[in-house]
Structure 1
Amino acid sequence: MANVASEGAAVRRTGAGRAEHVLATLMAAPASDDRLRRVLEQALVLAGASFAGVYAPGDDPAVLCLAESAGLPGSLYGLRDGYPTGGGAPVAEAHRTGRPVWLAPADVADRAEGRRTPAPDFSLAALPLAGPGGGALLAVAERPGGFDAGERATLELIARAVAVPEPGPADSREPAADAFSLAMDTGRVEVGDEILRLFGIGRDEFDGKVETLLGLTVPEDLPSLMSVVEPDHMSLDERELEFRVRRPSGGLRWLRLRGRLVPGGEGRPARLVGTVADATKLRSDVTDVARVQRLAADLATAGTVKDVGHAVVDALRKPLRADRIALAELENDRLVVTVLDPPEPEAWPELWRAEWRGEWPDAPVRAMPALAAALRDGRAHIWPAGSVLEPGLSGVGPGGLAVLPLPAGGRMAGACLIGWDRPHEFAPDERALLTACAALAGQALRRAHAFDAEHELVGMLQRTLLPHRLPRLPGAKAVARYLPATEGLEVGGDWYDVIPLADNHVAFVIGDVQGHNAGAATLMGQMRTALRAYAAEGHPPDVVVAHANRLLLDMETDLFATCVYVDIDMEQGTALCVRAGHPQPVLRHPDGSTETVQAEGGPPLGVLTRAEYPMTPLKLRPGTVLALTTDGLVESSGTDLDTGMDRLARDLAAADPAHLGRTADALLAGAHRGDDVALLLVRYDGMAVRPRRESWSVWRVPEAVRHARRFVRRTLRAWELPKDTADTALLVVSELVTNALVHTEGQVRLDLSLVGHRLRIAVTDSSPRGPLKPTSVGWEATGGRGVLLVEAVSHAWGTVPVSGGKQVWAELVTDGT
């Protein structure tokens, strides 16, 4: 720990000396188009800056324009591409006065648009340039304390090393052989001889129009090439892309364009300048700027923490010829590693293997003091071969180790460790590359962590809203599967449900709410609950779906839903199907043939106020399999709905209905997974023992109860039930029918059913109010005794809502159980 601390102090003490040595080496090298950028990259490494740029007078001497930059985009800090020389911007002040400007975060806020704003979390420095054209060097550091004395000395050295030539008339500058200059207003382009050779055009054949060159571009590559000059993409940052051209001989050639926009002054148009080269020559020598740009593009689309890690590995390991890379999130005092490359435990130190937790290690920071010091310091630390490090780090890079803290929003999001087995020399370009990549990865890691947390929360919400298990069914077996989407990592609104109803009816529901977010998952739960509630009230299927449609409209949401509702009578083997904008059910008959049900259906839920949902009758023989699914299984960007339904029918015909779970898994094997998928399979077997049923409409006549008792006595005698059971049943019927006639109005129905040795007595009336069980009954009480009597003589009793009314039921167990 002490050695590491003293080493860091030595680096800080000699920072200016190192800068002088590195800059002298760069300036002594032959002049090149990227020398200015390479000089600016030293501000990222040696001065700890996150952005460095050179502003110089452009075609209009009254405007300072950004000539070159390195590090993060300046737009992240509110920097502009140009500033008037007479304005109050720091670069303009340094250019006019010839003195450096050092601004802490509070000072930066004071200068923001002339009014005080909340202090940002970065400092800023502007230093005048000594070149013939003047201008200023601008540097940004993401630290409240700003640049220390050593870093200021380093920036002054860099400012002296930067030389921006005095601009001359645009027409007097001849482009290099591989360079071009495009006038954005006229489309006239000046190109070097090498570019014309690459396009296969002679100098005397070229008319100076950019359309002539674009006409040789392969049409598929033209949109990306045109995006360079679109208003939304035009910036002073360097752009790079590859495209193909068709030469006169008919062959194709890959070219690589590197360019940036040069703003125009008053009376002068903006120009796109850059180079074009043969891609085959540059492919093995990709610049650091290109690597950072590609990493930024990859991180912009990285959705999860692992995606971020893989993008960093792809950007760094091969170009740096590293032997291993680890990306870890910082959680309290532990580094939770999310990506290891290579992933095998044997490739990593013993301490890491000892801390392995399942798939990835969970390394304690306290076991690695040098790593802890790097995280506190917030800068990239590099240890060459032979450095004395603790065991947790020395095994990562015995030939050289780089530790990159990943800053994000004023805190450390994690760290990236890069190790080499053989001695590795760290060039200045590599240090700049590592610093720039660390800043990008830190922000992306923070975004991805928030995305993962939200995705897990939404996923937990959806798993909670779906059924935990399916109920056991009389005369049928059902299995269900749900697969979340793998593209976009968002959670959708697919759901399924199995609802046991009265009289051995079972409702099977599958649906899909539009959208893939927490709102869709929440609405899915509401629709599932609503359909279950309407079904339990005893409404027919078309009324259940119509009620759900009106409910969704009343919720005033922009989302809609589709569903299929199938009510199966397990005793008779009949079903009623209602479809609301959803894919059709598929039937597999006992002989192995399949059929797509042609249910007429209605519109999706939540679309039309006066929607009708017709019912389609179905006949199920024992052994018939009913398949309900969402469109994620049968439709994708490359498969239309009809083709997907035909494939589902073929796969269902080839499956073994005896193993319903295996059948479901086989049907899901070819799912596209661009959308979430719900699948519900039902095999109708038929009931081995069908209930015996009889019903009686109780008329409101003076002797209604006596008529009901006579009906019950006659029925139970035909069913050959014991006399004591019949006597108890008569008592229960007397109480329930009397309560219905006295306390309700409208029709009263009495239903008897016998399943095995269980007799069920049910009295249905038109009042939704259930019978009240008295808490205590005194000698003077005249009501409430009937409910207590029914409870005392019944094995079970209760009440359920039925089509606007209620049904009070009681069960008796006959002798012989």
Structure 2
Amino acid sequence: MCPNRPEGAASEPSPAAGARARVLTLALRQAAASVGGVGALLHGWDRRTGRLTLQAVDGVAAEAVRGWAELREEQDVPPACALRRGVLVQAAGDDLGTGASGVVALPLVGAEGPIGALSVLTGDSGGEPDDVQLSFLRAVAAWTAERLESAPGQPPRRAAGPGPEPEQVRTAKATHLTAALAEAVTVQDVVRAVADHVLSPFGADGLVVSVFENGRLTRVGEVGYPLEYLRRFEGPLTAGMPVTDVLRTHKPLFLESPAEIYERYPAVKDKILMGTSPKMAWAFLPLVASGRAIGVAVLSYNQPLPFDEDARTLLTTLSALVGQGLERARLYDVEHARAQELQSILLPQALPRLPTAVAAARYLPAGRGEQVGGDWFDVIPLSAGRVAMVIGDVMGHGIAEAATMGRLRTAVRTLADLDMAPDELLSHLNDLVSDLGEDFYATCLYAVYDPAGRRCSYSVAGHPPPVFVYPDGTVHSPVTSPDPPLGAATPPFAAHGLPLPDGSLVVLCTDGLIESAAQDAEQGLARLLRVLAGAGVGPARFTGTDQEKDVRGLEELCDTVVSELLPDRGQTTDDAALLIAHTRAMPAADIASFGLPDDPRAAGQAREFVRVQLGRWGLDELTTTTELLVSELVGNVVRHARGPMRMRLLRSRILTCEVYDGSLSTPRIRHATYTDEGGRGLQLVAAMSRRWGARYLSDSKCIWAEQDIPNVTSRVGAAS
């Protein structure tokens, strides 16, 4: 069977063409058999046009490989990559739709340079080819190249090998390298700059860049080498190796042929001759900065190469530039990694799952940019089942901003524990940011959801507004005039509020999510509203008592929002944060309120109210403790405050007892002595409750205390 002919081939081959076809048939079948492949292809290369043309196919229908009938040498496909890099290339996947599991491609190298590429489509039964199979495949490729050069009708030869470009061209491109290194930020930027501006001008086919630390070389980038080959050189440095001498002497080393490297470094012979690297010449360049060797760059060539004096001088000069650039990049990478670690530690490791709210969030570092930012978010449980949701953005990037973010998050948690209203909390936070200095500013949005009153109150300091998604799918973002950022504002901050139906979503984000070079904040916010409106968020998706279902739905929604608003994360220049909370109102049956007279009879009536209500809720085991709590709380109001007075009980996972009065005085625990007849009321409250505190309204205050409900899981299941 002859190999399939490409479309347009003559139907009656000449004797010479027939002989060539038989050679190709044998080559393709041997190539496929050597690695257990399902078929093989052969491309010829025309240096003048830079095109790879399909010459023969075996084991696969010609129609199936039409997409590879003609390739450009710069294409990112295995035959072109193998030709361009001069090494064996393995790629997984079935780009041609032939049913293959991958492709193994090798360059066909003649006496004067590359003449084509041989590719084998691998099956999925035998796994990846091993070293023995690949070695045999290389032998087949060498035999094929030799036969093609001696056969009539072979692809046009290169006039010359891929050697170095003229001196003036190399010097000009060296200038480009200097500019690229000046702009390089990360270690990978440095590696790309060297690959882009050194390989081609100096005719190199391979590059390895390694950094030297803790007595060993760590590879940070490579081009033109299979990874399995490079792994053979990993480990601690040993004597008798080229890189060891280069690091010790700080001098470059040029080895022009395998014979030279074997003669000078016998220890490297076994590693190079294991059939995985065709390299024939090397330039080992020390990367020196601040008088010490920080790494090595190795340029390699597929053909023996005499390095002229100009090339040696220019490569030595360039290695000094690369060393300086690599040192700067390493310092940046270290700082960047520390800042990212600091930021990840300061952000919440997990958001709380509360009876009245569950939430999901995303923090997205900038795809491009110099340092981490100061975006942050948090969810904080408050008294009476209320939930605080906060999101902020410290202006600027770097470790200082990440640390400031941590300070602000800690301050918000401390102030939230004092049950401050959103506008009052932002006023205190503004003082903190102002004390940091004139160059520190931050935006912030602080919101509190009240499940009993079914209302959300919030204040904004220079931040994007909140977005609310109601159970019927309606999306709403209130139009308000935000106050200036923290550090630039003059309190008081405006207080906002609106009713929030049961099952609503609260969506908070930073400007990095909605604002970019391609759109302003208003356009981004409008786009966010459209995404939320079209996400199918409704009662069927976020209702019920199963919090795992709620969280899964919120995680999916976060992913949808991010993918729609930031489709190309690699091109973003600002961090972004997103927080979505699903709120659940407290059922009316779990709220009980009772007015009390402003006289000593109030304590007795409060105890009676507790006995009756806890009996209705089936919480009789808490009656005695709760009676003692309300007696002390009401007695404290009668003695030290003023009416009107009322009491409220709230049941969720915990039992909350609240006593309201008309005084704004602050309750304080006294340290009573043995001889004092009073002053121990709040000490008893603190001892009998899991936590207690006070919060202040516009014209009154509330003293509250919480108790754990025994067997809360079984009770909730029975109630539902």
**TM-score band w.r.t. shorter chain:** 0.5 to 0.7
Question: 1:563 touches 1:582 (CA, 8 Å); kept in 2?
Answer: yes
Q: Deviations over 1:151-190 (max 9, x none)?
A: xxxxxxxxxxxxxxxxxxxxxxxxxxxxxxxxxxxxxxxx
Letter aligned with residue 551 of structure 1: L
CA distance in 2, matches of 1:603, 1:528: 19
Contact 2:177 2:193 in 1 (8 A): yes
Note the alpha carbon deviations across 1:5-35, whole angstroms, 9 max, x for none. Answer: xxxxxxxxxxxxxxxxxxxxxxxxxxxxxxx
Residue number in structure 2 paired with 1:665: 559
1:571 aligns with 2:452: yes
Contact 1:762 1:808 in 2 (8 A): yes
> Which string of whole-angstrom CA distances, capped at 9 and with x for unpartnered residues, describes residues 424-450 of structure 1?
221222212210111001111111111
Q: Does 1:369 align with 2:251?
A: no
Corresponding residue number in structure 2 for 1:40? none
Matches within 5 A, 1:45-444: 287-342=169-224, 344-346=226-228, 348-349=229-230, 351-352=232-233, 355=234, 363-366=235-238, 369-385=241-257, 386=259, 387-388=261-262, 389=265, 390-391=267-268, 394=272, 398-444=279-325
Deviation at 1:626, TM superposition (A): 2.5
Letter in 1 for 2:421: P
- Aligned-residue sequence identity (percent) comes to 33
| Cα distance change, pair 381–545 in 1 and its aligned pair in 2 (3 A) | same
- 1:625 aligns with one of 471, 486, 505: 505
Give the direction of change, closer, same or farther, for the CA distance of 1:723–1:531 in structure 2 (3 Å limit): closer
**Hey, what does 2:705 align to over in structure 1?**
809
CA contact (8 A) 2:390 2:446 kept: yes
Which residues of 2 match residues 742-753 of structure 1 at below 5 A? 751-753=647-649
Query: Counterpart of 1:652?
Result: 532
Measured in 2, the distance between the counterparts of 1:324 and 1:757 equals 65
Output the CA distance in 2 between the equivalents of 1:544 and 1:350.
Answer: 57
Alpha-carbon distance, 1:477 to partner: 2.5
- Note the alpha carbon deviations across 1:113-137, whole angstroms, 9 max, x for none: xxxxxxxxxxxxxxxxxxxxxxxxx
Separation of aligned partners in 1, 2:441 and 2:488: 7
1:668-723 CA distance string (max 9 Å, x none): 12425211101111223444675313255674xxxx44322213313542564577
For 2:573, the equivalent position in structure 1 comes to 674
Q: Is the 8 A contact 1:397 1:419 kept in 2?
A: no
Gaps of 5+ in 1: 1-282, 356-362
Distance in 2, matches of 1:531 and 1:718, equals: 36
Could you tell me which residue of structure 1 aligns to residue 161 of structure 2? Answer: none
Give the superposition deviation at 1:471.
0.7
Candidates 562, 574, 590, aligned match of 1:691: 590
Separation (CA, whole Å) in 1 of partners of 2:461 and 2:363 = 20
CA drift of 1:800 comes to 2.9
Q: How does 1:727-766 map to 2 (within 5 A)?
A: 727-738=624-635, 751-755=647-651, 759-763=655-659
Q: Partner amino acid for 1:684?
A: T
Task: Report 1 or 2 for greater relative contact order, CA contacts < 8 Å, sequence distance ≥ 6.
Answer: 2
Asked if the contact 2:685–2:692 (Cα under 8 Å) also holds between the matched residues in 1, the reply is no
Name the SS of the counterpart of 1:558 in structure 2: coil
Q: Secondary structure at the match of 1:404?
A: strand
SS of the residue corresponding to residue 198 of structure 2 reads helix
Q: Structure 1, residues 239-296: CA drift from partner, whole Å, max 9, x if none?
A: xxxxxxxxxxxxxxxxxxxxxxxxxxxxxxxxxxxxxxxxxxxx98753322222111
For the structure 1 residues 578 and 608, does the alpha-carbon distance in structure 2 shift closer, same or farther, using more than 3 Å as the test?
closer
Residues 752 and 759 in structure 1, CA contact (< 8 A), matched pair in contact too: no
Matched, 1:447 2:344: no
Match of residue 55 from structure 2: none
Question: For the pair shown, which has the larger CA radius of gyration, 1 or 2?
Answer: 1
Contact 1:602 1:614 in 2 (8 A): yes
Within the alignment, does 1:560 sit opposite 2:441 as a pair? yes
- Quote how far apart the aligned CAs of 1:791 are: 6.9
The residue number in structure 1 matching 2:602 is 707
Compute the displacement of 1:737 (Å).
3.8
Question: SS at 2:380's partner residue?
Answer: strand
Task: Give the aligned partner of residue 158 of structure 2.
Answer: none
Residue in structure 2 matching 1:479, options 346, 357, 360: 360
The 1:739–1:575 alpha-carbon spacing in structure 2 relative to 1, beyond 3 Å, is closer
1:550 aligns with 2:410: no
Q: Secondary structure at the match of 1:287?
A: helix
Q: Which residues in structure 2 correspond to 1:511-526 (within 5 Å)?
A: 511-526=392-407
Partner amino acid, structure 1, of 2:572: R
Distance (Å, rounded) in 1 between the aligned partners of 2:474 and 2:620? 51
Q: Is the 8 A contact 1:696 1:750 kept in 2?
A: yes
Counterpart code for 2:573? G
Task: Give 1:598's match in structure 2, choosing from 456, 479, 486.
Answer: 479
Deviation at 1:330, TM superposition (A): 0.4
- Alpha-carbon contact 2:654-2:706 (below 8 Å) kept: no
Amino acid at match of 1:771: I
Letter in 2 for 1:456: A
Shift of the 332–291 alpha-carbon distance from structure 1 to 2, 3 Å rule, reads same
Q: Is the 8 A contact 2:167 2:310 kept in 1?
A: no
Question: Displacement of 1:623 after TM fit?
Answer: 4.1
Pairwise CA distance, 1:667: 1.6
SS state of the match for residue 402, structure 1?
A: strand
CA RMSD of aligned residues (A): 3.3
Amino acid at match of 1:660: L
Q: Secondary structure at the match of 2:351?
A: coil
- Ranges in structure 2 where 5+ consecutive residues have no aligned partner: 1-164, 542-552, 716-720
**Aligned equivalents of 2:705, 2:292: Cα separation in 1:** 65
How many correspondences in the alignment? 515
Q: Are residue 717 (structure 1) and residue 589 (structure 2) matched?
A: no
- SS in structure 1 opposite 2:328? helix
The Cα of 1:639 is off from its aligned counterpart by 1.2
How far apart are the structure 1 equivalents of 2:219 and 2:562?
32
1:783 Cα offset (Å): 5.7
1:597-625 Cα distance to aligned partner (Å, 9 max, x none): 2133222221133x343233223334433
How far apart, in 1, do the equivalents of 2:456 and 2:237 lie? 63
Name the residue aligned to 2:7.
none
1:588 aligns with 2:485: no
Q: Deviations over 1:136-156 (max 9, x none)?
A: xxxxxxxxxxxxxxxxxxxxx
Partner of 1:798: 691
Q: Distance in 2 between matches of 1:548 and 1:709?
A: 43
Give the C-alpha shift of residue 801 in structure 1: 5.0
